[in-house]
Amino acid sequence: MNKVKLNVLGISYSQTQTGAYALVLAEENGRRRIPIIVGGFEAQAIAIQLEGLKPPRPLTHDLFLNFAHTFNIDLLEITVYKLEEGVFYSKLTCDNGQRIIEIDARTSDAIALALRFKCPIYTTEEILKKAGIILDFEKEAAVQTGNDPASPSRSIHVQDPTFADELKNNNLQELKDMLNEAILEENYEKASQIRDEINRRKKE
């Protein structure tokens, strides 16, 4: 199989499905992008890892990571190997020290685990030809952040404009308290926005 390496570009609101999100994977040495629709829980599991937020208790994918490390199982790579009727299929390639094992997984779970294990993500040239596109909002995000839209592992934040405006009325200490409270409540989308506002204030 001719494998092509992918990076997680980020997550944005889905423009086609209410309550869903678009996970965007980027071809490492090219400009093709693969948008994958995921649910809110799965988006949260990926977003908190991209944002570097630490939950007070291990979430499901963190538990999987801890379990695997306890029993000396390593996740070598994940592969998005099939696209059928709009559904992406993925597999985990694991090593328990004695043999290599492949396990079927939902793509959203596979990506969440790849980020935690810091292992590579691959797909096939066939899937890139079928599903690979260049998304217009990448150019807009690049202008807003000053980043190259092809750069890997850049999070496209899931934003609530109303909440972002409300944050401007809080002082820095209040924002820090709100950030801690959001993390304790496991509201990572809100925590991400609060942290962005704190970082913006520090640059002023």
pLDDT tens figures, 168-200:
889 999 988 888 887 776 665 677 678 778 878
Query: Are 178 and 103 in the same domain?
Result: no
Q: What is the pLDDT of residue 64?
A: 96
Query: Are 172 and 127 in the same domain?
Result: no
Query: Are 98 and 128 in the same domain?
Result: yes
Query: Are 84 and 151 in the same domain?
Result: yes
Pairing of strands 74-84, 121-124: parallel
Q: What is the pLDDT of residue 117?
A: 97
Q: What is the pLDDT of residue 15?
A: 56
Tally of domains within the chain: 2
Pairing of strands 33-38, 100-106: unpaired
Q: What is the pLDDT of residue 10?
A: 85
User: CA 204 from chain center: how many Å?
Assistant: 28
CA torsion sign for 28, 33, 39, 40 is: positive
Neighbouring C-beta atoms of residue 29, cutoff 10 Å: 7
Query: Are 151 and 106 in the same domain?
Result: yes
Q: What CATH number has the domain bearing residue 116? A: 3.10.690.10
Query: Are 106 and 66 in the same domain?
Result: yes
| Entry pTM | 0.70
Q: What is the pLDDT of residue 31?
A: 85
Q: What is the pLDDT of residue 109?
A: 96
Query: Are 115 and 172 in the same domain?
Result: no
Neighbouring C-beta atoms of residue 92, cutoff 10 Å: 22
> Is 146 exposed, middle or buried (CB count within 10 Å of its CB: 0-12, 13-18, 19+)?
exposed
Query: Are 78 and 143 in the same domain?
Result: yes
Q: What is the pLDDT of residue 75?
A: 98
Range of the domain at 95: 3-158
Query: Are 138 and 176 in the same domain?
Result: no
Query: Are 77 and 125 in the same domain?
Result: yes
What the block records as the tokens of 161 is: 């404009």
Rounded Cα distance between 147 and 125, Å, is: 26
Mean per-residue pLDDT, 35-50? 89
Candidates 36, 45, 102; CA nearest to 75 is: 102
What the block records as the tokens of 70 is: 């306890």
Q: What is the pLDDT of residue 156?
A: 41
At what angle are helices 60-70 and 40-51 packed, to 10 degrees? 60
Going by pLDDT thresholds of 50, 70 and 90, the confidence category of residue 161 is low
Q: What is the pLDDT of residue 190?
A: 72
Query: Are 185 and 147 in the same domain?
Result: no
pLDDT tens digits for range 118-158: 999 999 999 998 888 875 544 444 333 333 333 343 444 44
